[in-house]
A and B are shown apart, each in its own frame.
Chain A
Amino acid sequence: MKRLLSLAIALAIAASASATSMRRYSLEEVRDRAESVFVGRVVSSSVRPVMNGQLVATDYTIEVGEVLAGTVGATTTVTFLGGKDSRYDVAIAGSPALANGRSYLFFRTKQPNNTTVGWNQGLYRVEKVNLNGTEQTVLISGDGEMLRMTHGRLVRAESVTVRDGALVKAAVGDAHAGDPRDGNGVALNADGTPARRVAPSNAAAAEGPGSIATMDDVRLFVRSRQ
């Protein structure tokens, strides 16, 4: 009876928000934890209750274009907690929401979770952008980070958005604003004499950002998994 009551309350409110702590994986960990890796286009979605009706999940139907690892049929599903339709409206902060008709690269977990590794960490929008007059494919994680090749390695790089077919660097808020660092402290030895400042270490000059990763880069990356 209690369970039914809570179900009723959940459906009546039909809305929740949550903040989820995922382990932050390296790209290699994302790859190695995935049961399958594939590129596909979202063709439909449906929302269903899970966990005895206390939350809902959205199943996205994916028309698979290319399988990079694992066994995946021509059509498959990927599931994310939360969802919205005429019956439910359950927002889960951090849970990806896919757009119908859009293509993604999926690093999918095993069943029954059937989701992407680390949610946004294992989900990449496949976007076409115009770079210097040439159309190029870019891969942008659910967290907004573009994949680049830096020094022969696939890396998550700067946060970007795509606007009118062009890459735009995402604005990042500065939470330190209004709380500036105090000055340096006065450094003293135990006997009260001044301690000597060490010259800053000669950090190597930062490299350029590297090249934008292509699907071929990702294919090689996935193929090299253990």
Chain B
Amino acid sequence: MKKLLAIALLLAASSALAQNRTAGCSCGIPGSVPTTWEIRHVDPTAQQAAVNAFNTWNLYVDTLRPQVGSAVSYDFGNGHNEILFFDFSTVPGLDSSTVGFAPSLPQGAFGNFNQCPMPAGTSCGIFSEADVWLSNAIDWHVARPNVDDSRDAAYYYSTAIHEIGHTMGLHHNFKNISTMNYYQDFAGQFVSRADVLAVRSQFPSRAKTVTDLATYAFRYDDTLQNGSYGNGALVPATVSPAQVAAGGNLTIRNWTIENLGSSAVTSARLRFFLSTDTNITTSDIYIGGFKWEPLTTWSDDPDGFQFTVPAGTPAGQYYLGAIVGSGDNLVQDTITYNNSWFLPGKITIGGGAPSAVCTPTSNRVCLNSNRYGVELTFRTPDGAQNNATVIKYTDNSALYWFTGPDNIEVVVKVLNACGFANHYWVYGAAATDLQYTLTVTDSKSGKVKTYSHAAGTPATAIADQSTFDTCP
């Protein structure tokens, strides 16, 4: 009898809900909004992290009311919405490596969580309870790591924001930049435009009127993902060369800008700065950027642009960062956590006249009398980006390995053909099907050329006889 009653309630709930639903990556909705949440973490740092995760969603829709509850064990089915750490190692039927889990009641209210958008005719219901369980076997970190920090795999905000998204009815989203994706966690800490559109659709009466521009140091290319779940689809932003003289050019590519606000931004700006620290501000050295008039949705830059480092830039090492804002004064909005980002590696500004030499590193080889810098990065099947290690073979040629020096993956040579072809020639060949990017920089002219190879494909040979035309 009780079961019949529950089914009847579910049907009634679904019927009422159907009147308000619009298309989106969501199905199901909390029965009571705003929703009260009990935080069951014991550690104050974790408690605050949970509050922050809930409030990240509250920036856009006023729906969540987190409060620190007593440190009791879970009690799924008690009618309370709880976030807690849990031991997954002894749960039959659940892989112990599970990162997070968001159970909700009742059945059917959530539809198929991998479908986005939901197929027409899907019945979505009302949650009477939803919890977020996070694995207690993970060494969670709540401080913001760099984008290449391996601890990202255990990054609290990415997982908590993702699971909380599920409790709001959001489904996985593998076609967009989205915290509801499965991609690397450094990106998952950001509620994206796709996510905001989904929650506004879910909770139209709770949507806030906000101005919010976001920038990410990556671009999403779903044609690059392995299988269908987002890994490999993130293409990190790059800047090259790693060393350039003041007055020389830096090539920047793969940055993204999104408008998460309630309306178009009439004069949006994405500007790049050189900064001696990771706190990127408008007081840093401005080197250029993009403008949109207006920016309605989102944009990115797969090809890249060369920006000129202002003459007179002091020699030194700098982080490259970006800030988004409005107008020529770059007025930043009040949702600040996504207003800027920096790349983890530093670049060197040589100062004075253009430098005629490159500086070798474990990844960069300097060929042709130290004039041409050649660097190689690759991505492992799980999407992690790594520097290849170089072995200089002759003054014109080099070998690269990924996993060990006994396994050469790529051979590159830069030949001086000025005597008969008025060019320097770049040749390369690879014995790998991993994704890699080869960057060749002429330190004399500042010209940079990038050669990319997609994952899972046979590498074609590089035979570039036209790019480097500064002779001698």
Contacts and interface: CB of A to CB of B under 8 A. Distances in A.
B187 interface: no
Interface string A178-208: 1111111111111101011111111111110
Contacts of A196: 249, 305-306
Interface stretch (B45-53, B227-235, B387-395): B227-235
A23 interface: yes
A19 B95 contact: no
A50 B288 CA distance: 59
Contact of B451 (A109, A173, A184, A201): A201
B103 A204 contact: no
A219 interface: no
A132 interface: no
Given A33-B97, A113-B92, A157-B227, A191 B75 contact: no
Interface string B288-313: 11111001111111111111101000
B229 A197 contact: no
A151 B95 contact: no
B454 A206 contact: yes
Interface of A: 2, 6-7, 9-10, 12-29, 33, 50-51, 54-55, 57-58, 79-82, 89-95, 109-110, 112-119, 122, 141, 143-145, 150-151, 153, 155-157, 159, 172-191, 193, 195-207
A188 B330 CA distance: 14
B145 interface: no
Contacts of B94: 20, 81, 113, 115
Interface stretch (B12-20, B35-43, B112-120, B401-409): B112-120
Contacts of B171: 19
B83 to A, nearest CB: 13
Interface in B430-472: 433, 437, 448-454, 456-460, 462, 464
Nearest to B103: A18
A93 B112 contact: yes
B92 A23 contact: no
Interface stretch (B158-166, B334-342, B356-364): B158-166
B100 A6 contact: no
Given A16-B105, A89-B107, 5 more contacts: A18-B166, A54-B75, A151-B433, A189-B288, A201-B437
B308 A190 contact: yes
Contact of A15 (B6, B172, B173): B6
B417 interface: no
Interface string B113-145: 111110100000000100000000000000000
Contacts of A200: 302-303
Contacts of A193: 308
B96 interface: yes
23 contacts: A6-B75, A14-B3, A14-B6, A15-B107, A16-B103, A24-B382, A58-B93, A80-B93, A122-B95, A173-B116, A179-B197, A179-B298, A181-B297, A184-B290, A184-B299, A185-B268, A185-B299, A186-B292, A189-B288, A191-B308, A195-B288, A198-B303, A203-B453
Nearest to A90: B107
Contact of B28 (A7, A17, A178, A189): A17
B122 to A, nearest CB: 12
A177 B305 CA distance: 28
Given A15-B108, A179-B193, A187 B288 contact: yes
Contacts of B249: 196
B287 interface: yes
Smallest CB-CB A-B distances: 4 pairs: A185-B290, A15-B107, A18-B103, A19-B166
A142 to B, nearest CB: 11
A177 B458 CA distance: 32
